[in-house]
Amino acid sequence: GQVLQHIGCPHAARERMAEIGYPVSLAGKNGQTVRLPLKGCSFCDVAVDKGFYGALDMETVVSQIHCLPELTDGRKIPFELINENPLPGLPRLLNEIKGRGIRPSQINLILRADWFVTGEKYLRQALGLAQNMGVYILLSSVGLESFDDGILRNLNKGLNVDANLSAVRLMRQLKEDFPKEWGYARADGAIHGFIHPTPWDTQVISANTQKTFGAYALPADILPAHSTPLIIHHASGLGDWIREVEKREKVRYKRYGSVIGWWQEGE
């Protein structure tokens, strides 16, 4: 199930100027950038008009949970809480649910790495409540996307590798502290974002990324079974970026419906 709590993405609420590097495939052009205004992550094809429209009131959120179907044991089916930054309000939500006699089985969260780390205090409070309520909280996806600072800048994630690694450390620590109430790993059903390949991959970046994988044992629990190749939709910020590259360099990349094939120059 899904329960709507926030409409839109706070990261996409404010326009920022960004500089996105040229594709490494354009020989001799490395170091050049395209400067353009972006809302949210550059690869997101809905950030342009997504913005952030605020939160639903608590009564509306609890009402949605109340209306969810029940499992055979009387608990509500697992649901995803649609909120890009849910941790500050999660303890209050659990208290409201508990006070009304609603019995959830599992709450799935999708978070940015930085908001996950800054919300640790609230999450620990929520996990303490979950312990008493018999609720399982699954961090079903964190958009890590890359373990290279340059690629993260090009994706306009607004965070760096250190933030991603801090999130990984916290995920693992919480599993030690709340083994029955907390899930975060691939084996728990989580699929964390990892985008590869991208137009900015080099042998040096690949080698350093593999070192990071090994140093932090990321393949064991964090990395998905398969990475997601970067997809550039016409409506995304990267769509504007690659069209500007085409204009400047007099090249044209092939189109595949709503996708621009950055990996293959057209005729």
DSSP states of 108-155 as a string? Answer: EEEE-HHHHHHTHHHHHHHHHHHHHHT-EEEEEEE--B-S-HHHHHHT
CA 262 to chain centre: 22
Q: pLDDT above 90 covers what percent of the chain?
A: 88
pLDDT of residue 50: 58
Please state the pTM of the whole predicted model: 0.94
CA-nearest of 18, 46, 50 to 34 is 18
pLDDT of residue 52: 62
12-54 pLDDT, tens digit each: 888 999 999 999 999 777 789 999 999 999 999 876 665 666 8
CA-nearest of 241, 159, 140, 236 to 200 is 241
Q: Distance (Å, rounded) from C-alpha 104 to C-alpha 168?
A: 26
Q: Check whether 242 has a pLDDT greater than 90.
A: yes
Q: Check whether 85 has a pLDDT greater than 90.
A: yes
Q: How confident is the model at residue 117 (pLDDT cuts 50, 70, 90)?
A: very high
Q: Check whether 7 has a pLDDT greater than 90.
A: no
Rg value, the chain, Cα: 20
131-164 pLDDT, tens digit each: 999 999 999 999 999 999 999 999 999 999 999 9
Q: Check whether 185 has a pLDDT greater than 70.
A: yes
Q: Distance (Å, rounded) from C-alpha 73 to C-alpha 179?
A: 22
Query: Which has more confidence, 265 or 19?
Result: 19
The first and second tokens of residue 117, run together, are: 């780390």
Angle at alpha carbon of residue 232, lines to 142 and 159, rounded to 5°: 35
The first and second tokens of residue 202, run together, are: 């080099």
Query: Which has more confidence, 63 or 30?
Result: 63
3-state helix, strand, coil in the chain (%, to 5): 40, 25, 35
Q: Distance (Å, rounded) from C-alpha 156 to C-alpha 132?
A: 39
Kindly report the average pLDDT of the chain as a whole number.
95
Q: Distance (Å, rounded) from C-alpha 152 to C-alpha 161?
A: 8
CA-nearest of 158, 144, 153 to 191 is 144
